[in-house]
Amino acid sequence: MPGGVIVVERREGLGLAERLYLPMLARGLWVSARHFFRNLRGFVTGKNRRDFVVQYPEERVDYADAFRGVPVLVEREEGGPRCVACGLCELACPTCCIRIEAGELPDASGERHPVRFDLDLARCMFCGLCEEVCPVEAIVMSRSVEMAAFDRASLLFDKRALLVPAALVKRRLDFLSKGYERPRDADGERAG
Ligand code: SF4
Ligand code: SF4
């Protein structure tokens, strides 16, 4: 089910009907009743369920691409995170919920990588600043919002728990690329 945007018109001054209060009360009741009976008809006939309550978890809302869910680490094709452990996201995070320990890959490339990358989702406020500062689109905001846990310790995600294949966050990567006009190479990774 696609998410929609409703633009609400807000007027500064109150008209006579609004100041008299009762006409607006009647109007509010009329709007509620109209929605109620339309939805009731949709429920009975199975049609016109346009603004019906989402039957979660059987039905899911298809969030807009700008939606910011749980931050995740993007996986490279050859495995492992794209992250080069520059530390910018750790620095930018306003709630200090990211902790990184940098190291070098054991192969001949000697590339930097995060030996440890922890993100405390109990403190994260989904602001997206980590994603914004990342120079290689290694941390992005996913569409996932399901993060219930019985204790705070279970919300401390390590590198392995945060890692997702790039294909799973493709829509977000495309959105970032378009929004920030970031060039991509042939593999779809950020270039320049
Ligand atoms: S979304 Fe915001 S609060 Fe959460 S990890 Fe990123 S920078 Fe920190
Ligand atoms: S900003 Fe990006 S590359 Fe740098 S440490 Fe964070 S996730 Fe890794």
- The pLDDT of residue 192 is above 60: no
DSSP strand pairing (112-120 vs 163-165): unpaired
CA of 151 to the centre of ligand 2 (A): 27
pLDDT tens for residues 115-161? 999 999 999 999 999 999 999 999 999 999 988 899 999 999 999 99
Output the pLDDT for position 10: 79
Residue 18 Cα to ligand 1 midpoint, Å, equals 43
Give the Cβ contact number of residue 91 at 10 Å: 13
Distance between start and end Cα atoms, the chain = 36
**Ligand 1 centroid distance, CA of 81 (Å):** 18
Average of per-residue pLDDT across 166-171: 95
Whether residue 159 contacts residue 113, with contact meaning beta carbons closer than 8 Å, is answered with no
Q: Is the pLDDT of residue 1 over 80?
A: no
pLDDT in tens, 57-113: 888 888 889 999 999 999 998 889 999 999 999 999 999 999 999 999 888 777 899
Q: What is the pTM of this model?
A: 0.74
- The ligand whose atoms approach the alpha carbon of 112 most closely is 2
* Residue 134 Cβ contacting ligand 2 at under 6 Å: yes
